[in-house]
Amino acid sequence: MPDELVESISASRVAMIGTDCKSPRCVALVGEVGVKVSCSIYEQRATTCREFDPVWADGEHNSHCDAARAAFGLPPVVLVAA
| Same-domain check for residues 59 and 74 | yes
| Same-domain check for residues 29 and 69 | no
What range does the domain containing 16 cover? 3-51
Q: How far is CA 12 from CA 3, 6, 20, 27, 43, in A?
A: 14, 13, 15, 21, 23
| Same-domain check for residues 15 and 45 | yes
In eight-state DSSP terms, residue 60 is: B
| Same-domain check for residues 35 and 59 | no
| Same-domain check for residues 34 and 59 | no
Domain count, the chain: 2
Please report, in tens digits, the pLDDT of each residue of the chain (82 residues total): 889 999 999 999 999 999 988 888 999 999 999 999 999 999 999 888 999 988 888 888 899 989 989 989 999 988 887 6
Q: Which amino acid is at 12?
A: S
| Same-domain check for residues 23 and 46 | yes
| Same-domain check for residues 12 and 32 | yes
pLDDT per position as a tens digit, 52-73: 988 888 888 899 989 989 989 9
Q: Which amino acid is at 33?
A: V
| Same-domain check for residues 74 and 45 | no
Helices (H), the chain: 47-51, 63-71
